[in-house]
């Protein structure tokens, strides 16, 4: 056959074969996707496990200082601040000077002290003389008794003036040194150099470090179950990456519900740890004292769908969303009390992709 005729025939045969190949590829692809719809997802799984001593729940809290951790530094007499040695946030040790204050009243007290000392000396001499005369029968014994009573009054006045003079480290020139009563940090400075210092207001407030409490907001369902001495736990993130577990216990539970938040306030003590500072918001897990049991899964396995907690449970080659009831959550695990059984496999990664697939 003529080669010029064979070449066009071969090209036509090749073009006719292309649609057939394309139809085969389009048919095979849906079959593979239907066989394993999550084949392209690198899903990590975890087995739900049974745990004892089920926590009562996880509630929000804020780290605060206990009442005894804040100490006010007051001036015994009003005056003017000659020098201020510290600023807010500065660490101080016990006995460290905070300010130097000048006052006119201590000078008057020094004068009263000198007069009281002189009065005591004079009264003692008078008592000695009158007692001797009364013993000799020259005067009545009542006059000696009156002198002794006057001596007791003079000594009481002297003791009072001495106590006033010893307040605040007052010097003879009326200078007072205000010092830190405890070691800690300066939380408040209410005066400045040259400013007034009122004896009724505290110019300094010192906060002790190392002792903290947590103020909890308990929902109504938990308020009647939480009792003092119940253990609590707080999981804190650290710079090294490993979370830090801080323990404590319930100190007190309020007997009434806050009408604004519809919650019950409670107070728990916690120990000092890196990252614990007053004012920090934390999640507190109340361990409880009972022996209830629950199902533990990784915390990232639980997700919200329609505002309700769900987990994705493996069924064959797919995962189905299942509604669960979460009792408590920490940074590592969530405790489920309803909707999941021990031994079931749940997805612990690619949760967003599974949510998108379940919504289709």
Which has the closest alpha carbon to 43: 355, 328, 294, 295? 355
Tokens standing for 58?
């996880």
Kindly give the residue spans of alpha helices, DSSP state H, lying in the chain: 3-35, 105-135, 141-166, 220-223, 351-359
* Mean pLDDT in residue range 53-76: 86
Neighbour-count burial of 204, counting CB atoms closer than 10 A to its CB (0-12 exposed, 13-18 middle, 19+ buried)? buried
- What pLDDT, on the 0 to 100 scale, is given for residue 137? 85
Please state, in angstroms and rounded to a whole number, the distance separating the CA atoms of residues 230 and 249: 5
CA dist., res. 275 & res. 281, Å (int): 11
Task: Encode pLDDT of 313-322 as tens digits.
Answer: 998 888 989 9
- Within 13 Å of residue 21, how many CA atoms lie on the same side as its CB? 5
DSSP character for 140?
A: -
Contact 332, 299 (CB under 8 A): yes
Q: What is the pTM of this model?
A: 0.55
- Residue 290 pLDDT: 58
24 pLDDT above the threshold of 70? no
Across 288-317, average pLDDT: 84
> Which helix (H) or strand (E) is 45 found in, with range?
strand 45-47
Comparing 6-15, 22-31, 235-244, 268-277, the range with the smallest average pLDDT is 22-31
Q: How far apart (Å, rounded) are the C-alpha atoms in residues 203 and 223?
A: 40
Mean pLDDT check: name the lowest of 70-84, 119-133, 267-281, 299-313. Answer: 267-281
Mean pLDDT of 22-32: 42
Is the sign of the CA dihedral 189, 190, 193, 198 positive or negative? negative
CB 175 within 8 A of CB 101: yes
Write down the pLDDT at residue 30: 46
Q: What is the mean pLDDT of the chain?
A: 82
Give the Å distances, CA to CA, from 207 to 89, 136, 181, 334. Answer: 9, 66, 10, 36
Q: What is the DSSP string of 237-266?
A: --TTSS-EEEEEEEEEE-SS-BTTTTEEEE
> Could you tell me where the DSSP H helices lie in 36-140?
105-135
| Residue 146 pLDDT | 92
The yes-or-no verdict on residue 29 having pLDDT over 60 is no
For 30, the 3-state DSSP assignment is: helix
Q: Which of 62-66, 102-106, 203-207 has the lowest mean pLDDT?
A: 102-106
Residues 165, 111 contacting (CB under 8 angstroms): no
Neighbours of 29 (CB within 10 A): 10
More confident residue, 121 or 224: 121
What distance in Å separates the CA atoms of residue 178 and residue 102, rounded to the nearest whole number? Answer: 11
Q: Are strands 281-286 and 263-270 parallel, antiparallel or unpaired?
A: unpaired
pLDDT surpasses 60 at 109: yes
> How many CA within 13 A on the CB side of residue 51?
19
Judge whether 56 and 214 are in contact, CB under 8 Å.
Answer: no
């Amino acid at each position: 056959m003529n080669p010029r005729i064979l070449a066009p025939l071969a090209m036509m045969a090749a073009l006719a074969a292309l649609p057939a190949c394309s139809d085969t590829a389009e048919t095979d692809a849906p079959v593979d996707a239907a066989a394993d719809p999550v084949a392209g997802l690198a899903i990590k799984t975890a087995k739900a496990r049974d745990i004892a001593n089920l926590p009562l729940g996880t509630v929000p809290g804020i780290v605060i200082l206990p009442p005894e951790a804040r100490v006010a530094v007051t001036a015994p007499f009003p005056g003017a601040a000659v020098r201020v040695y510290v600023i807010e946030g500065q660490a101080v040790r016990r006995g460290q000077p905070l300010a130097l204050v000048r006052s006119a009243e201590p000078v008057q007290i020094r004068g009263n002290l000198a007069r009281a000392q002189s009065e005591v000396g004079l009264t003692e001499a008078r008592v000695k003389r009158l007692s001797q005369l009364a013993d000799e029968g020259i005067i009545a014994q009542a006059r000696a008794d009156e002198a002794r009573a006057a001596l007791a009054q003079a000594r009481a006045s002297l003791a009072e003036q001495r106590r006033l003079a010893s307040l605040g480290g007052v010097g003879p020139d009326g200078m007072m040194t205000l010092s830190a009563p405890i070691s800690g940090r300066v939380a408040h400075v209410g005066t400045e150099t040259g400013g007034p210092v009122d004896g009724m207001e505290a110019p300094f407030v010192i906060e002790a470090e190392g002792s903290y409490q947590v103020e909890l907001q308990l929902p109504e369902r938990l308020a009647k179950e939480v009792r003092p001495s119940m253990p609590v736990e707080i999981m804190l993130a650290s710079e090294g990456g490993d979370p830090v577990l801080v323990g404590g216990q319930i100190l007190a539970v309020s007997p009434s519900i806050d009408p604004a938040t519809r919650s019950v306030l409670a107070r728990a003590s916690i120990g000092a740890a890196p990252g614990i500072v007053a004012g920090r918001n934390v999640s507190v897990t109340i361990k409880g004292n009972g022996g209830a049991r629950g199902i533990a899964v990784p915390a990232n396995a639980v997700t919200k769908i329609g505002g309700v907690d769900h987990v994705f449970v493996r069924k064959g080659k797919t995962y189905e969303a299942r509604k669960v009831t979460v009792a408590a959550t920490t940074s590592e695990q969530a405790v489920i009390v309803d909707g999941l059984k021990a031994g079931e496999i749940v997805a612990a990664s690619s949760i967003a992709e599974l949510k998108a697939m379940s919504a289709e």
